[in-house]
Amino acid sequence: MSSTLSRLAAFSVFLLLMAPVFAQENGVLPCGQNQAQDALEALYPEAKVERELREATSRAAAAAVLERGSNDDEVYIIPVVFHVIHDNGPENISTEQILDAMTILNRDFRKLNPDTGQIVAGFVDIADDMDIEFRLAKRDPQGNCHSGINRIESELTYDGSNQMKQLINWPRNSYMNVYVAADAAGAAGYTNYPSEWGANTDGIVLKYDYVGSIGTSNAYRSRTLTHECGHWLNLPHLWGSSNNPNEPDNCDVDDGVEDTPLCLGSPVGFCDVERTTCGSLDNVQNYMEYSYCSKMYTTGQRARMRAALNSSVADRNELWSEQNVEDTGVLEEELLCRAEFSVDRNEVCLGEALDFNDESFFGVSEWSWDFGDGTTLSGSDADVHQNPTHVFEVPGEFEVYLTASNSTGSVTSQDPVVIRVLDDGPLPGELQEGFEVSEGPWSEGEWSVETLDGQAWQIRETTGYSGLRSLYVRNRQNEGGEITRVTSGTFNATGMASLMIGYKYAYSHRTTGVTDDRLKLQVSKDCGMTWNTRQFHRGLIDLPTAPDHGGNFYPSGEDEWSGHLEEVSNDIYFVPNLRFRFEFESKGGNNVFLDDINIYGVDSLGNILDLNEASDGPSFGLTAYPNPSQGAFTVDARWGGDGAQLLVRDAAGRLERTIRLNGEGGKRTTIDGLAQGVHLLELNAQGRREVLRLIVAR
């Protein structure tokens, strides 16, 4: 049998035996370099031509490095900056995790990793020290003191593509840019080979749970940055420039490195150190493999990477120059120059603890916190004072400052971190939200939007159920699986017998197919720590309110809306920090809209509860839901004193009905049987009068 047939036969047997074992972890590619390179060269076709023409030069330059032997012993120092692109989720990894990743990267490149003792005999003699070190920058491009870590809040973290890199990109001739994001274009990490093209996208992107060995990551994933740095310095995978290990044709592809044997490449997570696929022992433990048991680079890979650092391609030769090392401050003494900190949340309820994390630099030995509520904390015990926990006892917005000190002096944080402490707020007779300008809680910043992926809840200026505006999700641009939420502030619901939540919504499928998008009304009894779904609208059941639309769906009238009124009567929800939210999960349908949210509480007799403080005096007002309607309205009236009356008139002012309301404080009642058209509803009590227009449309 020929050697080629032998390889194919062995390969087929291997696939049959091992294919079920090596599924990619959670669907994440170990490396997206090939896809990123293809995208770059599709955008700049000249880049591919130049790279292929330059390959011979790269190999010759690496050979020259090898010829220098022991004379090539200079340690190249590369300044690094991390850009953490986050949406206040777990992707906003800690400084400690970044420092851990840097430690592992330097350990691997200097062959100081303790597992070198496990390198198999066939490769132990060519496992080499790269004489390359990576240091976090201590100065930014303008020469200012810097930690080498930027944190930028952006929903592009869920994208992780070159568009995200446009948020920030320090000059590639001075820094190696490393991006941490919630998603790395579907991979654990990716980068490009050095290229004259795409200077504003040069850098390495890492998925947040593949950074270092602590925090959101683990030791198994900790070599991702080491692998991507290899690509960034012109190393292909051992089986060549593709993302397809274990292919029969890979034996015919050379990676451009003299001492790495031809191989098929290990499937993801398959560590067989005795594996032979192309007539010789595979270097399974190489950092440019997918085996996840990497421990080494070879002498030949060292030469190729050092040749890249001596090339002007992508300005790699400028990075380690004496001038750049000085300009980026990587070798400077760690002097105290900046007080900074982060907090786990910027919004909290009364009595909840907040964790503050010091991120000051450098050499801090004492901390003084001013929490803005009259409370301070100072001292030099790192366990107590560096990363404190604080509980705000009063509601409001508080500006928090940190002063960091050591024997050379002190610095204070320049911009305060603002903490919003939510009150156990009184629930008014009715919370009304129509998303109109200068009307309702939205205009006062009382709602917050959280988007896990895709398009966010946002205002639609020209589409509403009863007004001009509504809240909507541009779901037509989503592909499916994206989630966005809009969440209320807190309300004091103690003393209620039931809670009524009404709203209008609109949605349609695309004409390309029926989808099962989901809109949920959720309630939290613990200030947003946990949520229970009270109403679940599904695309296959009751979410669609209009015919399918081929383009963007915008409801054209009231008949393309629907409504829901949810009654919450379980007393576990009648707490002083009740919250509501609407969650939308895309399954690839069309746009979804939300409008006319009405929330109010009632007692066991149907009276509307006025929970405003006594010093505010009784409220006076009149609301009706739904409005417009098909002739029936739920009416909420609030007044002070004993007794009131409702008058219903037609559009010409002629009296149609008189309804007497007994008691004091408030009453919920119903009005039905009204004719089509406009009616005027009037509340009279204690010499006060309020009129509301009712619209009946059939």
Q: Which residues are catalytic?
A: 228
Work out the number of other CB atoms within 10 angstroms of the CB of residue 98.
Answer: 22
Q: Which helix (H) or strand (E) holds 133?
A: strand 132-136
Spatial CB neighbours of 526, under 8 Å, sequence gap ≥ 6: 575, 577
Alpha carbon 97 to chain centroid, angstroms: 18
What lies within 8 Å, CB to CB, of 12 at 6+ separation is none
The order of strands in the sheet holding 353-358 is: 341-343, 353-358, 389-391
The count of other CB atoms within 10 Å of the CB of residue 333 is 8
Query: What tokens does 516 get?
Result: 């099962």
User: Using CA atoms, how far apart are residues 149 and 145, in angstroms rounded to an integer?
Assistant: 11
Alpha-carbon distance of 33 to 575, in angstroms, equals 52
Distances (CA, A) of 76 to 129, 318, 324, 479, 639: 12, 11, 12, 45, 78
Q: What is the DSSP string of 521-538?
A: EEEESSTTSS-EEEEEEE
Q: Where are the alpha helices (DSSP H) in 233-374?
A: 299-309, 316-319, 322-327
- Cα–Cα distance measured from residue 683 to residue 692, given in angstroms and rounded to the nearest whole number: 8
CB atoms < 10 A from the CB of 551, how many? 10
394 phi, psi to nearest 5 deg: -130, 150
CA-derived radius of gyration, the chain: 32
Residue 260 half-sphere exposure toward CB, CA atoms < 13 A: 32
**Contact (Cβ atoms closer than 8 angstroms) between residue 182 and residue 87:** yes
CA dihedral defined by 652, 653, 656, 659, rounded to 10 degrees?
Answer: 150
Q: Whole-angstrom Cα distance, residue 551 to residue 541? A: 22
Please name the residue that has the structure tokens 């809840």.
457
Total Cβ atoms within 10 A of residue 329 = 23
Secondary structure (H, E, C), 34-95: HHHHHHHHHHCHHHHHHHHHHHHHHHHHHHHHHHHHHHCCCCEEEEEEEEEEECCCCCCCCH
Contacts of 249 (CB under 8 A, 6+ apart): none
E-only strand ranges, 543-676: 562-568, 579-585, 592-602, 621-625, 633-639, 644-650, 655-661, 665-671
Q: What is the DSSP letter of 428?
A: P
